[in-house]
Amino acid sequence: MNPFQFTRVTTPQAAISASTKESGTYFLAGGTNLIDLMKREVILPERLIDINKLPLTTIEKNVTGLRIGAMAKNSAVADHELVKTHFPLLSMALNAGASAQLRNMATVGGNLMQRTRCSYFYDHSMPCNKRGPVQAGPDKGKPNGPAGCGAIGGFNRMHAIFGASSKCIAVHPSDMCIALAALDATVNVSGPKGDRRIPFSEFHRLPGELPQKDNTLLPGELIMSVDLPTNRFADHSHYLKIRDRASYAFALVSVGVGLEMKRSDGSVHTIQDVRLAMGGVAHKPWRLFEAEQFLKGKEATEANFKQAATLAMKGAKSYGENDFKLTLAPNSIIDALKTATKTA
């Protein structure tokens, strides 16, 4: 860990202006990821802006649905009555992540900003393209370690099968974000040039040529809140997380599913509407748009689930140690759909 300046702010405006003044500045929220990265010398900040005193912890109904403050703790969101009742998928995904202690510290905004858990990213003696500074941003953090992608040809058990590039095959580690992607969330941000609303599918990005850049935030922008539109998925939601141990492990593959079901006659269940997203498979939460389109209006049968899973896997590519995900991912989609439609 390198010596750094530490500033505590109490208003979003102060946070934004402090962060744009100098390079190498990071917002510190729950600290459950940033502090690790500092200890491992992956990130060497010059300045931390502590935003824990910002009044952004409210969880409340608004005209379109639910608004969750960026500084709400993961555990507070997971346990909130409105979330549990109307957005159980989000509650399930949050509770599948990390440990109780971490969820008590981690915030919604911080969860969106999590960096990958790729081993090569964390070990600065190993090659990694993700550790480099983001050009044209305030983040001029020193690049630490050799360039290249260690995971390609290396230990890539945890890595992407969708949307990767020759520069990076890392995955986004969040569980919460899989639910937010499935639930069509919007991220509200505030920055030096004013406020913006970012659709969730546009918040995180694929690695392409610039894997060091995880998201589309502009310099100095601060996440203020996340909006969830009202839906009819509460009765048929499921978050399935497959991992190497029962708790406190990142997903090999996870599936977030929300369905609106219609009972057409005595026994057949028709899928009126559906949202599907996967974790552990891409550099960003991975929505399964084609599978969703296919399932709309279809009966909830294993045959249809299999076909949806096959569609979802189009374009998948594995890298050796993660070959099993080409089987595990579609199996998990089917398993999650069975559970959510209660046809298991």
Judged by CB under 8 A, does residue 242 bind other proteins? yes
Query: 297: phi > 0 → left, psi -120 to 50 → alpha, else beta; which?
Result: left
34: which residues sit within 8 A by CB, 6+ positions away?
Answer: 26, 28, 43, 45, 48, 110
Shortest Å, Cβ 146 to other proteins = 11
Q: Six-digit token pair at 59?
A: 């969880």
Strand partners, 26: 48
Judged by CB under 8 A, which of 12, 154, 220, 279 binds other proteins? 154
Q: Where are the alpha helices (DSSP H) in the chain?
A: 12-21, 34-39, 74-78, 81-86, 88-95, 100-105, 108-112, 119-122, 176-182, 200-203, 289-295, 302-312, 325-340
Q: SS3 sequence, 158-209?
A: CCCCECCECCECCCCCCCHHHHHHHCCCEEEEEECCEEEEEEHHHHECCCCC
Q: Six-digit token pair at 169?
A: 């095959």
Instruction: Please state, in angstroms and rounded to a whole number, the distance separating the CA atoms of residues 110 and 27.
Output: 9
Judged by CB under 8 A, does residue 249 bind other proteins? yes
Judged by CB under 8 A, does residue 161 bind other proteins? no
Judged by CB under 8 A, does residue 186 bind other proteins? no
Shortest Å, Cβ 302 to other proteins = 9
Judged by CB under 8 A, does residue 119 bind other proteins? yes
Q: Is 125 helix (H, G, I), strand (E, B) or coil?
A: coil
Residue 336: Cβ within 10 Å count:
26
Q: Could you give the angle at which helices 325-340 and 302-312 cross, rounded to 10 degrees?
A: 140
DSSP state, residue 20: H
Q: Is 214 helix (H, G, I), strand (E, B) or coil?
A: coil
Judged by CB under 8 A, does residue 344 bind other proteins? yes
Judged by CB under 8 A, does residue 153 bind other proteins? yes
Shortest Å, Cβ 109 to other proteins = 21
Q: Which of residues 39-68 bind other proteins (CB under 8 A)?
A: 41
**Binding piece for other proteins, criterion CB under 8 A, among 11-19, 267-275, 277-285, 304-312:** 304-312
Shortest Å, Cβ 55 to other proteins = 32
For the chain, the distance separating the N- and C-terminal CA atoms, rounded to the nearest angstrom, is: 50
Tokens 């399964």, located at residue: 288
Judged by CB under 8 A, which of 63, 125, 265, 266 binds other proteins? 125
Residue 37: closest CA among 110, 96, 109:
110
Judged by CB under 8 A, which of 13, 209, 248, 320 binds other proteins? 248
Judged by CB under 8 A, does residue 140 bind other proteins? no
Judged by CB under 8 A, does residue 244 bind other proteins? yes
Please say which residue, 125 or 265, places its beta carbon nearer to other proteins: 125
Judged by CB under 8 A, does residue 6 bind other proteins? no
Shortest Å, Cβ 131 to other proteins = 15
Q: Which of residues 65-104 bind other proteins (CB under 8 A)?
A: none
Judged by CB under 8 A, does residue 250 bind other proteins? yes
Judged by CB under 8 A, does residue 181 bind other proteins? no
Judged by CB under 8 A, does residue 142 bind other proteins? no
Judged by CB under 8 A, does residue 22 bind other proteins? no
Please say which residue, 177 or 210, places its beta carbon nearer to other proteins: 177
**Binding piece for other proteins, criterion CB under 8 A, among 53-61, 79-87, 246-254, 256-264:** 246-254
Judged by CB under 8 A, which of 330, 337, 340, 341 binds other proteins? 330
**What is the contact surface with other proteins in residues (CB under 8 A)?**
1-3, 41, 117, 119-120, 122-123, 125-126, 150, 153-155, 157, 240, 242, 244-250, 252, 306, 309-310, 324, 327-328, 330-332, 334-335, 338, 344
